Amino acid sequence: MADNIIKQGENILPKDGEVLLFPSFFCKEESDRLFQSLLNNIEWEQYQIQFFGKMKDQPRLSAFYGESGMSYTYSGKKLIAKPWNPELLEIKDRIETIAGVKFSGVLLNLYRSGGDGIGWHSDAEKEHGTNHVIGSVSFGATRTFKLRHRQDKQLLVKTNLAHGSYLLMKGETQLNWQHQVPKTSKALAGRINLTFRELKYGNRHALNYFR
What pLDDT does residue 144 have? Answer: 98
CATH of 3-197, one of 2.40.10.120, 2.60.120.590, 3.40.109.10, 2.40.110.10: 2.60.120.590
What are the residues whose beta carbons fall under 8 Å from the beta carbon of 107, sequence distance 6 or more? 62, 63, 64, 72, 194, 195, 197
What pLDDT does residue 147 have? Answer: 98
Helix (H, G, I), strand (E, B), or coil: what is residue 87? Answer: helix
pLDDT truncated to tens, each residue of the chain (211 aa)?
444 455 689 999 999 999 999 999 999 999 999 999 999 999 999 987 766 777 888 899 999 999 988 887 665 567 889 999 999 999 999 999 999 999 999 999 999 999 999 999 887 654 444 568 999 999 999 999 999 999 998 999 999 999 999 999 999 999 999 999 999 999 999 999 999 998 755 444 434 333 3
Per-residue DSSP letters for 93-153? HHHHHHH-S---EEEEEEE-STT--EEEE----GGG-TT--EEEEEEES-EEEEEEESS-T
CB 170 within 8 A of CB 133: yes
CB 41 within 8 A of CB 33: no
Closest to 63 (Cα-Cα) out of 39, 31, 86: 39
Dist CA 149 CA 48 (whole Å) = 28
What pLDDT does residue 72 have? Answer: 74
Domain ranges of the chain: 3-197
What pLDDT does residue 75 have? Answer: 55
Q: pTM for the full model?
A: 0.87
